[in-house]
A and B are shown apart, each in its own frame.
Chain A
Amino acid sequence: MAAETMLGQPNPLAISFFILFVLSTIGITYWAAKKVKGTKEFYAAGRSITGFQNGLAMSGDYMSAASFLGIAGLVATCGYDGLLYSVGWLVGWPIILFLIAEPLRNLGKYTYIDAVAYRLKLRPVKLVAGISSLVTVLFYLIAQMVGAGTLVQLVFGLPYESAIILVGILMVVYVLFGGMVATTWVQIIKAGLLLGGATVLVFMTLWHFGFSYGAMFSEATAQYGHSFLVPGSLITSPLDAFSLALALMFGTAGLPHILMRFFTVPDAKEARKSVFYATGFIGYFYILTVTIGFGAATLVGRSMVMSVDKGGNMAGPLLAEFLGGGVFLGFICAVAFATILAVVAGLTVSGASAISHDLYVGFMKNGVSDEKKEVRIAKIATLALGIVAIILGFLFKGQNVAFMVGLAFAIAASANFPALIMSLLWKKFTTAGAVASMITGLVLAVVLIFLSPTIWVDVLGNPTAIFPLKNVAIVSMTSSFAVGIIVSLAKKEEDAQRIYDAIIPRRYLGRGAE
């Protein structure tokens, strides 16, 4: 068993790998910058990405540090419970494919909000959805920034603050100069590195066990007992289990930065392909991370993993060090950092488009703006988001921000997903219904999480929580649907129903789709 680790000291190999990644992505950004002329390039990479490339880029956008380091860490420390996350984070993808992909691609232009607002009144929908989209992105961003700062501190020996500033500057550079073109290629490279790195790590782990999962699970049982391979303490009540499941599944289908990727492909056919490839890559990756988690628990040891980081986030890197020494540790750490960098770039493009395309052009200008100005606003928004991300990274230093990814998923499932799916699939949905549903979902998700054990007890230190469940989606998401349905049925919107019928050719055939 590894008695000590090089983690915590500057690792020259990790730094070299990382510099190589940064240089190549900056090179791509330089190349992309010449292509980015208008909104179509900035938001949607000129709709020139193929289904396969977009599948990789989607998985790159989705496989965040929370899934790479987080799931492996959760499995290494809690065993089976980690699998609940890998399953939950995957099962939303087929739903996206069956119900959302085609109409979203055919009706939208640059953001999922375009598709929500298509047959409703533009300004109110753009305002509320724009805010909720931005809030989702910001919570996700905080978790990534703090994760990046902590990781860099551990791996590169750089101070937390410089790491945050470095990440902030790089993400702004990618998006500001290269827009969605550069962001897409950063995602693709990162997805390749992450899938490749994790595959090697799993191969070496299984090598150790004579390529027998059974042997690995026997070793886990020998060390931690039978309960390590059974769902346990993470799920305290059945209601909490269902609530978590709802947030994981439908949150995926409401993440603005994922939904935005649908507009980078030319048509619905490529959109379907993208989701299928993304599901395959992500499913494969989650099976890898679970293996890495059990590998770390058995080979590195739970106490060693937890002594480096209480949350277990360093399980993957520690396993790499155990199996492949400093070189492999350096490589995996660089991959983890590249992962975070790519995800924040995707979040930045998405947040900037919520500000420029949805809030500025959609809400303030009623959908009318010249392209040059819109790109300029988007670039200013990018810069502003970079600064906000750095400030938030500083503010949340040393805080336990793991719940923020959960919060982002809860908001996505409660505020973004219900409005999107009802607008796409339900003829009687109205503007008032959409606005009421989004506000209900957003407010309930945020307020209930604040009152739940996650923040009220664990962060604020109160003895008992006001809202009993750790996961809020079962209340916030169902309320959002209920309010949307009741308000829509209360008052008919003739225009919304008329347009719903009129856009059938566009929705199914992509006629006139952008």
Chain B
Amino acid sequence: MVDKISEKDIVNDKEFKSLISKRNSIAVTLSIVELLLYFGFITLVAYNKPYLGKTISPTSDTTIGIPIAIGVIILSVIMGGIYAYWANTSYDASIKKIIERMEVE
């Protein structure tokens, strides 16, 4: 089905172009968030060990550093899930729509 339309038509299509740039900006934004998340954690490790060493409550021995580290892991998985879900449903569907519309034209 895809092969009926020339590659040039797709590349020059306005809707396709804006979808691609939307995809790229989402991917870049998420990457930046991930980098901030991780290097924020590393910055604490490098410069503020006492903060990571505070306990989560006066009665507990657990340090703040532990939920923060586990939190980075869990947030990373969740962000990956959000992207994969968005790309595999909304993004792929929009691409399909554009191709179908161009076929009709």
- Point out residues on A near B: beta carbons under 8 Å: 80, 83-84, 86-88, 90-91, 93-95, 97-99, 102, 213-214, 217-218, 220-222, 226-227, 229-232, 235, 237-238, 241-242, 245, 249, 269, 272-273, 275-276, 279-280, 283, 286-287, 290, 501-502, 504-505, 508-509, 511
Contacts and interface: CB of A to CB of B under 8 A. Distances in A.
Residue among B34, B53, B84, B87 with max Cβ neighbours from chain A (10 Å)? B84
Contact of A213 (B62, B74, B80): B62
A275 B61 contact: no
The 7 closest A-B pairs by CB, nearest first: A238-B46, A230-B53, A276-B84, A221-B61, A241-B46, A229-B63, A218-B61
B2 A272 contact: no
B65 A504 contact: no
Contacts of A504: 7, 10-11, 20
A80 B63 contact: yes
Given A221-B61, A279-B76, A273 B2 contact: no
Interface residues of B, number: 47
A273 B83 CA distance: 10
Contacts of B61: 214, 217-218, 220-222, 226, 229
Contacts of B31: 94-95, 98-99
A98 B30 contact: yes
Contacts of B74: 283
A214 B99 CA distance: 55
B62 A508 contact: no
B51 to A, nearest CB: 10
A272 B76 contact: no
Contacts of A102: 87
Residue among A98, A242, A287 with max Cβ neighbours from chain B (10 Å)? A98
Nearest to B74: A283
B49 to A, nearest CB: 5
A275 B45 contact: no
A231 B45 contact: yes
Interface in B55-93: 60-63, 65-66, 69-70, 72-74, 76-77, 79-81, 83-84, 87-88, 92
B46 A276 contact: no
Interface in B27-43: 27-28, 30-31, 34-35, 37-39, 41-42
Contact of B39 (A222, A237, A245, A287): A245
B80 A217 contact: no
A501 B73 CA distance: 36
Nearest to B24: A425
A509 B47 CA distance: 45
Contacts of A80: 52, 63, 65-66
Given A86-B73, A275-B84, A235 B66 contact: no
